[in-house]
Amino acid sequence: MKKILLASTSTLYNGSYLEYLLPTLEQHFENVKTLLFIPYAQPSGISYDDYTTKVGEAFAKINIQVKGIHEYENPADAIKNAEGIFTGGGNTFLLVSKLYENHLITVLKETMAKGTPYLGTSAGSNIGGRTMNTTNDMPIILPPSFDTLGFINFNLNPHYLDPIEGSTHMGETRETRIAEFHKISTIPVLGLREGSWLEIYGDNVILRGDLTARLFRAGEFAVELAPSENLNFL
């Protein structure tokens, strides 16, 4: 049975890294003593070692040790043997490129299908969708494919932002960008606001957190989904 959390962000405003999620993570990873961390997205260019240290400091608060996938000679075996896995945020293009380079897409899919608990934040959540095409990130590198893990039957737009009333910003809104995506694809897209996450246990896909999420489907008006709603209809 799949046991997956896909969070919009790792950090809320004025909060420390993963602070708001720690009570949930303590239950999600309840049988995990050592967590495998995938630091490939490298936010702000942080090194793998420094990123892993940062994650380790957060998980130490719930008595879980963290080891980076880059510390293993064979990353595929590290995934297969992991007690639990966390893929952090950063640049989705870079993350997906590294996963393909190390031949990890298929092994991640197979391992998660067997029930190894998984956490993704931001870019690490983006890859849980069918494709990475609705990421917010700059294309700093070209992956071999935009196809990702398909834990859910739709795409995510983490850090989803609503238009700000009265703003003089002339650039495209997130809603505009998603509408552009739906000119060439029928894959539904969920705009996941800060502090929200998806809980995917078995066939259920439950929206968690205090905020609604915005669902976009090609040729239809966007709708708001309430916390605790099951998105398995998608």
CA distances from 222 to 36, 85, 93 (A): 37, 33, 27
Give the bridge partners for 87, in sequence order: 38, 120
Mark whether 203 is an active-site residue: no
Nearest to 12 by CA among 22, 3, 2, 27: 22
Mark whether 185 is an active-site residue: no
Of 8, 137, 182, 196, the catalytic one is 137
Mark whether 159 is an active-site residue: yes
CA 96 vs. chain centroid, Å, equals 12
Residues 135, 137, 143, CA angle at the centre, nearest 5°? 80
In this structure, what token pair is assigned to residue 132? 């990475």
Of 8, 10, 122, 196, the catalytic one is 122
Element housing 128 (H / E): none
Nearest to 200 by CA among 156, 179, 230: 230
Burial environment of residue 48 by CB neighbours within 10 A (0 to 12, 13 to 18, 19 or more): middle
Alpha-carbon gap, residue 230 to 36, rounded angstroms: 28
Active site residues: 122, 137, 159
